[in-house]
Amino acid sequence: MENNDNLFRIYKKRMTITAIVTSLCYGLIAGGASAFVSALFCWLFNYDSIWVPVGIGLGLFVIGTVVLFFVKFRPTEHDVVRKIDAMGLEERTITMMDLRNTDTPIAMMQRADTVNKINAVTESQIKAAFPAFAVGVTTTVLLCVAVVLGVGMTIVAGLTSAGVIPGPGIITDPNDRFVLVSYTVDEGGFIDGSEEQILSPGEDAEPVVAVADDGWMFVRWSDGQKNTEREDKNVTSDIIATAVFEEIGEGEGEGPGESIDKEDEGDYDEDAPDNGNGEGAGDNGSDANGGQGNGDGNKGDGQGTGSGGQEGEGNGQGQGNGSGGGWSDNNQIIDGETDYRVVLEYYKEIAMDILNNSSNYPPELVEFIKGYFDSI
């Protein structure tokens, strides 16, 4: 009886090896197919990760192999005896298994006959009944195709991710199909034109203009452009540009210096007609030192020839050493209400900043400003 059990275990071991090999083949089919599908999707959607198809393929290969072996291919006792009988024993083995607990003379004779028949089988019969590789032609073809496609597609996805070969350009990230152009204002003005524009890469944006509110002036765009009007060409990436405005301070109408009264300077006759022989223009033609103006144009028309003439307001004209010029409506620039001197220092600061940081500005602008200062 013990010899019968040893014989049974030998054949069961052979069937177990066959079942393991078969499970591995089907597991490779599942792993290769899943790796191919996942690698294809990564390639199409430009997902730069070769480990996704590799992980999915290996995972399904291991899980599929284990599940298939224990659920489908692991041999049972009856599977072994049927395989043994397939070697020409005509159900002797299965009969012996049914009578193994019976010690009658007939049962003992049947077991002895079965053992003799099993010992008589040839090596070729054993190999034919218990092959190590027992899958069919169709399964073998599927195995080869799945492995080749899975490995090949994974390699292609990896090379694309590394930049060695180009992607398909069929399915792309929606964010790569459009660019956003946005023009904004914090305060002091508004955008004349389309503030939000969605373009295809390489398309030109519609022109816009940064318009200042009353009492404000345009300085620059946040990306450095100086013109109020802009039209971005060949836009290939998102643009967010903010128009920067600055508030204009209101002038006091005062000249840069004050006149100094000196009673004895300048010869003139108090009773004579107004010759304007004071230090600046006198009020309504009276001879006196020039007074400080207030921007209202209330000074007279006399002309002073004394020293230290004060820069005054109105139509008076100071003459002499350090003479001050009069102010008229022609001096009101920018918006028709603001005198040039109100923003003179501000523009001077901008010009000096451009000269001191010339590398950050267009060369032609720097040369223009240098030429202006050289000419005065």
Candidates 135, 137, 128; CA nearest to 21 is: 135
Decide if 168 is inside a domain.
no
CA distance 17 to 25: 13
Buried b (16+ CB within 10 A) or exposed e, 299-325: bbebbbbbebbbbbbbebbbbbeebbe
Helix (H, G, I), strand (E, B), or coil: what is residue 344?
Answer: helix
Would you tell me how many other CB atoms lie within 10 Å of the CB of residue 331? 14
pLDDT in tens, 106-121: 777 777 777 777 777 7
Helices 137-161 + 51-68 axis angle, to 10: 160
Task: Answer yes or no: is pLDDT of 39 > 90.
Answer: yes
pLDDT at residue number 7: 67
Share above pLDDT 90 across residues of the chain, in percent, rounded to a whole number: 35
Give the pLDDT band of residue 169 (cuts 50, 70, 90): low
Last residue of a domain, one of 212, 247, 282: 247
Phi-psi region of 90 (alpha: psi -120 to 50; beta: other; left: phi over 0): left
The arithmetic mean of pLDDT across residues 309-329, rounded, is 46
Decide if 300 is inside a domain.
yes
Three-state secondary structure of 97-154: HHCCCCCCHHHHHHHHHHHHHHHHCCHHHHHHHCCCCCCCHHHHHHHHHHHHHHHHHH
Give the pLDDT band of residue 251 (cuts 50, 70, 90): very low
Three-state secondary structure of 235-258: ECCCEEEEEEEEECCCCCCCCCCC
CA distance 97 to 252: 121
Average pLDDT, the chain: 75
198 and 265 co-located in one domain: no
pLDDT in tens, 324-367: 455 555 555 555 566 666 667 777 888 888 888 877 778 878 88
CA distance 365 to 225: 12
CA distance 375 to 55: 74
154 and 196 co-located in one domain: no
Decide if 169 is inside a domain.
no
Decide if 137 is inside a domain.
yes
The arithmetic mean of pLDDT across residues 209-231, rounded, is 93
63 and 109 co-located in one domain: yes
11 and 133 co-located in one domain: yes
Last residue of a domain, one of 225, 247, 269: 247
Give the pLDDT band of residue 276 (cuts 50, 70, 90): very low
Range of lowest pLDDT (82-96, 239-253, 288-302): 288-302
Decide if 341 is inside a domain.
yes
Last residue of a domain, one of 137, 161, 185: 161
pLDDT at residue number 318: 44
227 and 101 co-located in one domain: no
Better-scored residue on pLDDT, 227 or 4 = 227
Better-scored residue on pLDDT, 140 or 254 = 140
Q: Using DSSP bridges, classify how beta strands 189-192 and 208-212 pair: parallel, antiparallel or unpaired.
A: antiparallel
In terms of C-beta density within 10 A (0-12 exposed, 13-18 middle, 19 or more buried), how is residue 348 classed? exposed
Task: Answer yes or no: is pLDDT of 150 > 80.
Answer: yes
207 and 354 co-located in one domain: no
137 and 68 co-located in one domain: yes
pTM tops 0.75: no
Residue type, 376: I
145 and 9 co-located in one domain: yes
**Token digits for 216?**
């404000």
Decide if 241 is inside a domain.
yes
pLDDT in tens, 255-274: 444 433 434 444 444 454 44
pLDDT at residue number 222: 94
Decide if 166 is inside a domain.
no
Decide if 284 is inside a domain.
yes
CA distance 183 to 168: 34
203 and 232 co-located in one domain: yes
Q: What range does the domain containing 15 cover? A: 2-161
Share above pLDDT 70 across residues of the chain, in percent, rounded to a whole number: 69
145 and 64 co-located in one domain: yes
CA distance 155 to 92: 54
194 and 112 co-located in one domain: no
pLDDT in tens, 170-213: 655 555 578 899 999 999 999 999 999 999 888 999 999 999 99
Helices 363-375 + 340-356 axis angle, to 10: 120
CA distance 314 to 294: 8
CA distance 210 to 223: 14
Q: What's the structural domain count of the chain?
A: 4
Give the pLDDT band of residue 279 (cuts 50, 70, 90): very low
Task: Answer yes or no: is pLDDT of 286 > 80.
Answer: no
272 and 200 co-located in one domain: no
